[in-house]
Amino acid sequence: MKKGLRNWRLFSLFGMMALLLAGCGKPFLSTLQPAGEVADMQYSLMLLSTSIMVLVIIVVAIIFVYVVIRFRRRKGEENKIPKQVEGSHKLEIIWTVIPIILLLILAVPTVLATFKLADVKAMNVKKRDKDAVVVNVRANLYWWEFEYPDYGIITSQDLVVPTNEKVYFNLSASDVKHSFWIPAVGGKMDTNTDNKNQFWLVFDQKATDKAGGIFYGKCAELCGPSHALMDFKVRPLPRDQFDAWVKKMQNAKKPVVTDPVAKQGEAIFNKSCIGCHAVTPLDKRPAQARTAPNLANFGDRERIAGILEHNEENLKKWLRNPARVKPGNKMSGTYGHLTEEQIDALAKYLMSLKVE
Amino acid sequence: MHVEEKLTAETFPAAPERATLEGKNKFLGFWLFLGGETVLFASLFATYLALKDKTNGGPSAEELFQMPVVFMATMLLLTSSLTSVYAIYHMKNFDFKKMQLWFGITVLLGAGFLGLEIYEFTEYVHEGHKFTTSAFASSFYTLVGTHGSHVAFGLLWILTLMIRNAKRGLDLYNAPKFYVASLYWHFIDVVWVFIFTVVYLMGMVG
Amino acid sequence: MSTITRKKGVGAVLWDYLTTVDHKKIAHLYLIAGGLFFLLGGLEALFIRIQLAKPNNDFLVGGLYNEVLTMHGTTMIFLAAMPLLFAFMNAVVPLQIGARDVAFPYLNALGFWMFFFGGLFLNCSWFLGGAPDAGWTSYASLSLASKAHHGIDFYTLGLQISGFGTIMGAVNFLVTIINMRAPGMTFMRMPMFTWATFVTSALILFAFPPLTVGLIFMMMDRLFGGNFFNPAAGGNTIIWEHLFWIFGHPEVYILILPSFGIFSEIFATFSRKRLFGYSSMVFATVLIAFFGFMVWAHHMFTVGMGPVANAIFAVATMAIAVPTGVKIFNWLFTMWGGSIKFTTPMYYAVAFIPSFVMGGVTGVMLSAAAADYQYHDSYFVVAHFHYVIVGGVVFALLAGAHYWWPKMFGRMLNETLGKISFWLFFIGFHLTFFIQHFLGLTGMPRRVFTYLPNQGWETGNLVSTIGAFFMAAATVILLINIVITTAKGEKVAGDAWGDGRTLEWAIASPPPVYNFAQTPLVRGLDAFWIEKMEGKKELTPAEPLGDIHMPNSSFLPFVTAFGLFVAAFGFTYHNDAQWGLPVGILGLLITFGSMFLRSVIDDHGFHIHKEEVLELEKKEANA
């Protein structure tokens, strides 16, 4: 067993090292670097439960190590018959009652937090406060649509929200079940095909700055071949900048293209793409008809297809064969073969779609 | 006591279904199996209750259900449960002929029930209430149909036992078999009482 | 019919196993089939880890990865862990209660073949278009959308078939334990593993029907135009989630309670001490099982059930930690004051405590609903349940295999190889899964086939993959050990470890076909230990030596299960091909036909005569 102990020590050393390397993750993605009220609340629950549990582990570990070393069968004890103990009521009561107390300490804040996080009254009152921001999130294979019902605008893939205030979400899915998760900002909630879920998040300004202005969003429910690639980005803005962004989106007209190559791209787009993709934020079609991401501010986006770095090269790669980037996506096969020239034109046009 | 022993009315034990270890095992095992079946039907009922108003434009429970047919079917099945009690009563008294007679009546009543159910289902289909119509229809046919297939299985089971043992008479080898078959039949009956209440009565009240 | 084992040809041995109703041989069948599925599931796990070793890897991409992932989970739970536990239950429980056989030997065989053909059917999907790809939970909207191939149909039908087998096994063990205990074996004298089997069987009996119902709904929706999970026609996919988890959570206890039972036996044996707090252990087992049915919705905290439901299920879940904690401390205090011998099974048992405690405490963390919104469907959950299922169940399976191998096969597995394989497995296990907690906490969702660079997940995933190879190496060494042992292992006596406490160690290894020549009289907990302490080498018999009644072998269980296998193919393809429906009906006819034959053909079993028993016992004593 001596050898075993040395092994244990080695192992824990390695574990600690790996931990240090991993650190607490990236500020734009990690639940361990909470960036808002919800994530804060959840983080403190994590800390509370972890500390209670570490206490339990320490107690068990001490008894464990003592027992395993002290009571091993030594040389010359081959015929030793230990006393056959039935049990001990006192001990058994102790290790029943103490865990119950520990669990109560955890249960109370858990219940309180659960109710607090589910409090969405403010978004459902008849006369909603004008300043309360509500976003309808609609999850699709494999992209996200964000509709701002109070402002009449729609965008996709990049969620823009005001900082330091509650933002309310209506969550639904249009094809299969997904789950909406911005790890740094707060826990997830499922987007179901059967009903609408509601919850709220707060995006902290300081944390946003620390994260570089962008948070990563994920789909957390297996939804098909490209589940792993169903990312979105969140761009929290100070309230005044957010209002300005909304204004710009509301005023965005049909894009005016001047560049001759982009014009050519627009022609191709209007022939092959416009059936699904809208290019203005004011898309009046019903949700079922909006079968592809809104591209009104495509030029301002963080990523191509939610995952690739935002440049023309990647956009062309995506247009050439979307299935290579996102297997199982719904865009593959909806348009005919495009020549390199057409792809160049289309990319130019798409990159010119800007609101800001 | 030995299973194959030829017995008389005097030597036949009071609880022949549990007189041998095999019988005891069968008796207990079957009760446990019915426990599992109860959970199965409970799940079907729960789903039905969740989906019963989701008619998707098809006919609703209120529009479909007809009391006369359902009531008659209920009466047939309840009576068949009673007749199977008589059969077991005679089994315990070592009266093989009467047992067979009452089981025979049980089978006839059960067949009558099944006939009515098939008639009922075809009527519904004619009225546009198909399995594929709506979530309500799917859950209705699955719940009531699962019960119906239990009835059919029970009928074949009792019939097989009657024919197989027609010449042999009663002994401790087949007494437990008759007994658990009747137990199964009672279970089917109890499930129907719930179906009648939850599906039909509650459906007609709306 | 002679029962004395002679050298037999391969064909005869095969036929023997195809028709056997002997619980000990059925245990071998479960061990072999479960073991093969375990290797398959392990291979799938390795593929998963290879794909995730580095960002943007292209070893298994998209849909194919999802198939491997689904089959890894489904195989490990339904086709490896449960059957392997069933192997030990079959091998040991009748012996531990002093019975000659199980209550329903025929049903026992039928249960095995149902499981086997269900598992075989499920795995046929690999060669017929594609395996199921919606995760082992197979959430309804995704499984209904998975239309490229019949994978999900293989899942629904295969699991229904194997589920029937599992329910049969459960009823069999319940009746066996209630009705077939030897004189003096009261409930509170039953070994812990028998108790665990008893409670587990009750769990199976009540937990599997909801799964069956859910699978029927899904089959109806996919193959017969049903609308249970189709929101457009009024259906509701959340119903699937409830039905699945009403089964799925008890399933966790179906796996872990027998594992607890195995460890309880091992701790007591190799500490040379009776189990500390036996009655509270029994009570805790029952309580865990009871709670197990009230907490299913903690898998659904993020579904949107509302704060009331979430809070109730959170608190109920926390409550389970109490009886589980009681068990941990009872095991520690079983060793306290004991004389611990570190054999391979004891290595696994000792290692189980810290490993399982890790999984247990993260379980409590997950139960805090508000915080679970963060953990849910992240790698934190993956780490948690692997700590519980590998650190608990797989450790128990490996411990049990080493512990009861001599009893089942009469030869001792090599201890040196066993310990090497233990260390590799133990280190590999922690290497693989510990780091995954942090992957989850730093935002990595579960069930992703790849991840992009620069999200802080590279090191963690690489470490995890390396760990997986350690476990693979451990498994290979275990296989080598088995081969060597089978070829030239050291033959062992009845009490193979020398410290056996329960009845199975009082008879020969492997036991004779009738187990006990004379049914023993049980005089207390750890019946064999009591006899040994009084200086006796054998049990006190409860009856004079006499003829022993045995059940007949039968090929019908195989045929009955095979019929369902055929039927499942027919119904899977009935929408695509003309032959579908007829084949489906043919399969059902085979099944119901063999049930009919079973019903009309009398089966009275046979007797092993007293003289034959005496001869066998004498031979055993001389060996």
The CATH number fitting domain C10-554+603-622, selected from 1.20.210.10, 2.40.50.140, 3.40.50.970, 1.20.120.140: 1.20.210.10
Instruction: Report ipTM for this prediction.
Output: 0.96
Percent of chain B at pLDDT exceeding 90 = 85
Q: Helix, strand or coil for residue B117?
A: helix
Within 8 A of C103 by CB-CB distance, chain B residues are: 25, 28-29
Within 8 A of C381 by CB-CB distance, chain A residues are: none
Average pLDDT, chain B: 94
**Smallest CA–CA separation between C272 and chain A, in Å?**
7
C236 and B160 within 8 Å at the Cβ level: the answer is no
Residue B174: closest C-alpha in chain C: C602
* pTM beyond 0.90: yes
**Residue A23: other Cβ atoms inside 10 A:** 14
Within 8 A of C455 by CB-CB distance, chain A residues are: 26, 29, 216
pLDDT exceeds 50 at position C313 = yes
Longest dimension (CA), chain A: 96
Which domains can be identified in chain B, with CATH numbers? 17-52+61-205 (1.20.120.80)
Counted across chains A and C, CB pairs separated by less than 8 A come out at 316
| The pLDDT value given to residue A7 | 60
Cα-trace Rg, chain C = 24
- Find the CB nearest C443 among A29, A42, A222: A29
Contact C226, B44 (CB under 8 A): no
Contact C567, C592 (CB under 8 A): no
Contact C312, C276 (CB under 8 A): no
In a domain, A270, yes or no: yes
Within 8 A of C465 by CB-CB distance, chain A residues are: none
pLDDT digits (tens, 9 = 90+) for C69-96: 999 999 999 999 999 999 999 999 999 9
B181 vs A258, more confident: B181
Within 8 A of B139 by CB-CB distance, chain C residues are: 228
HSE at residue A149, side-chain half, CA atoms within 13 A, is 16
C208 and B51 within 8 Å at the Cβ level: the answer is no
Residue A286 touches partner C, C-beta closer than 8 Å:
no
- Find the CB nearest B36 among C209, C599, C602: C209
pLDDT exceeds 90 at position A131 = no
pLDDT exceeds 90 at position C540 = yes
Residue C240: closest C-alpha in chain B: B47
| 8-state DSSP, C576 | T
Residue A106 touches partner C, C-beta closer than 8 Å:
yes
Residue C428: closest C-alpha in chain A: A11
3-state secondary structure C543-571: CCCCCEEECCCCCHHHHHHHHHHHHHHHH
The whole-angstrom separation of Cα C397 and Cα C357 is: 18
Categorize the per-residue pLDDT at A253 as very low, low, confident or very high, splitting at 50, 70 and 90: confident
Picking from C351, C350, C374, the residue whose alpha carbon sits closest to that of residue C362 is: C374
Chains A and B touch (3+ CB pairs under 8 A): no
Contact C386, C338 (CB under 8 A): no
| The pLDDT value given to residue C1 | 38
| First-residue to last-residue Cα distance in chain C | 24
Residue B28: closest C-alpha in chain C: C175
C372 and A187 within 8 Å at the Cβ level: the answer is yes
What are the C-alpha distances in Å from B128 to residues B47, B53, B194, C226, C533? 22, 16, 25, 15, 77
pLDDT exceeds 70 at position C5 = no
Sign of the alpha-carbon dihedral angle for A129, A130, A131, A134: positive
> Helix (H) and strand (E) counts for chain C?
21, 4
**Smallest CA–CA separation between C491 and chain A, in Å?**
22
The whole-angstrom separation of Cα C377 and Cα A126 is: 35
| 8-state DSSP, B131 | T
**Smallest CA–CA separation between B127 and chain C, in Å?**
18
Contact B22, B39 (CB under 8 A): no
C171 and B32 within 8 Å at the Cβ level: the answer is yes
> Structural domain of residue A330, as residue ranges?
260-351
Residue A11 touches partner C, C-beta closer than 8 Å:
yes
The whole-angstrom separation of Cα C594 and Cα C261 is: 36
Contact A41, A113 (CB under 8 A): yes
The full set of domain ranges for chain C reads 10-554+603-622
Contact A338, A331 (CB under 8 A): no
Residue A186: closest C-alpha in chain C: C374
Categorize the per-residue pLDDT at C490 as very low, low, confident or very high, splitting at 50, 70 and 90: confident
The whole-angstrom separation of Cα C494 and Cα C510 is: 8
B134 and C234 within 8 Å at the Cβ level: the answer is yes
| B74-93 average pLDDT score | 96
| The pLDDT value given to residue B2 | 64
What are the C-alpha distances in Å from C282 to residues A90, C183, C191? 18, 21, 10
**Smallest CA–CA separation between C236 and chain B, in Å?**
8
| 8-state DSSP, A291 | -
Q: Helix, strand or coil for residue A146?
A: strand
Q: Helix, strand or coil for residue A72?
A: strand
Residue C445: closest C-alpha in chain A: A220
Residue A107 touches partner C, C-beta closer than 8 Å:
yes
| 8-state DSSP, C389 | I
pLDDT digits (tens, 9 = 90+) for A258-299: 889 999 999 999 999 999 999 999 988 999 999 999 999 999
| The pLDDT value given to residue A254 | 82
| The pLDDT value given to residue B1 | 52
pLDDT exceeds 80 at position A301 = yes
The position carrying tokens 């133990």 is C426
**Smallest CA–CA separation between C204 and chain B, in Å?**
9
The whole-angstrom separation of Cα C274 and Cα C573 is: 56
**Smallest CA–CA separation between A222 and chain C, in Å?**
6
Residue C227: closest C-alpha in chain B: B135
**Smallest CA–CA separation between C156 and chain B, in Å?**
16
Average pLDDT, chain C: 95
Picking from A68, A49, A164, A161, the residue whose alpha carbon sits closest to that of residue A113 is: A49
Within 8 A of C178 by CB-CB distance, chain B residues are: 28
Q: Where are the alpha helices (DSSP H) in chain A?
A: 2-22, 37-70, 89-117, 121-124, 205-210, 239-251, 260-272, 312-320, 322-325, 340-351
- Find the CB nearest A49 among C66, C278, C371: C371
| C458-477 average pLDDT score | 97
Q: Helix, strand or coil for residue B89?
A: helix
Contacts from A120-128 at CB under 8 Å and sequence distance 24+?
A120/A168, A120/A198, A120/A199, A120/A200, A122/A166, A122/A168, A123/A168, A123/A170, A123/A198, A123/A200, A124/A198
Residues of C with CB under 8 A from a CB of B: 103-104, 107, 167, 171-172, 174-175, 178-180, 205-206, 208-210, 212-214, 216-217, 220-221, 224-228, 230, 232-236, 239, 243, 246, 596, 599-600, 602, 604
- Find the CB nearest C333 among A30, A91, A117: A91
Picking from C203, C52, C74, the residue whose alpha carbon sits closest to that of residue C138 is: C74
Categorize the per-residue pLDDT at C621 as very low, low, confident or very high, splitting at 50, 70 and 90: confident
pLDDT exceeds 80 at position A12 = no
pLDDT digits (tens, 9 = 90+) for C413-439: 999 999 999 999 999 999 999 999 999
The whole-angstrom separation of Cα A60 and Cα C361 is: 12
Mutual orientation of helices B135-164 and C580-600 as an angle, nearest 10°?
40
Residues 6+ apart with CB under 8 A from A271: none
Q: Helix, strand or coil for residue A301?
A: coil
Average pLDDT, chain A: 92
- Find the CB nearest A110 among C66, C368, C445: C368
- What are the beta bridge partners of residue C606? C550
In a domain, A275, yes or no: yes
Categorize the per-residue pLDDT at A336 as very low, low, confident or very high, splitting at 50, 70 and 90: confident
- What are the beta bridge partners of residue A160? A235
Here the CATH number for the domain that contains residue A306 is 2.60.40.420
pLDDT exceeds 70 at position A6 = no
The whole-angstrom separation of Cα C560 and Cα C554 is: 11
The whole-angstrom separation of Cα A179 and Cα A192 is: 8
| A123-143 average pLDDT score | 91
Residues 6+ apart with CB under 8 A from C494: C500, C505, C506, C507, C508, C509
Chains that touch A (3 or more CB pairs under 8 A): C
pLDDT digits (tens, 9 = 90+) for B187-201: 999 999 999 999 999
| C347-363 average pLDDT score | 96
Within 8 A of C322 by CB-CB distance, chain A residues are: 96, 99-100, 103
pLDDT digits (tens, 9 = 90+) for C150-183: 999 999 999 999 999 999 999 999 999 999 999 9
The H or E element that residue C542 is part of is: none
Residue C104: closest C-alpha in chain B: B25
pLDDT exceeds 90 at position B3 = no
| The pLDDT value given to residue C2 | 42
The whole-angstrom separation of Cα B175 and Cα B3 is: 10
**Smallest CA–CA separation between C171 and chain A, in Å?**
32
Residues 6+ apart with CB under 8 A from C525: C188, C189, C191, C274, C278
In chain A, the number of structural domains is: 1
pLDDT exceeds 80 at position A15 = no
Picking from B47, B120, B153, B45, the residue whose alpha carbon sits closest to that of residue C221 is: B47
| The pLDDT value given to residue A266 | 94
What are the C-alpha distances in Å from C515 to residues C88, C116, C139, C554? 15, 26, 46, 20
The H or E element that residue A232 is part of is: strand A232-237
The position carrying tokens 């609880």 is B15
In a domain, A134, yes or no: no
In a domain, A313, yes or no: yes
| The pLDDT value given to residue A2 | 47
Q: Helix, strand or coil for residue A251?
A: helix
Lowest mean pLDDT, pick from A11-15, C138-142, C267-271: A11-15
> Where does residue A330 rank: exposed (0-12), middle (13-18), buried (19+ CB within 10 A)?
middle
C179 and B25 within 8 Å at the Cβ level: the answer is yes
pLDDT exceeds 60 at position C6 = no
Residue C208: closest C-alpha in chain B: B36
The whole-angstrom separation of Cα B22 and Cα C102 is: 11
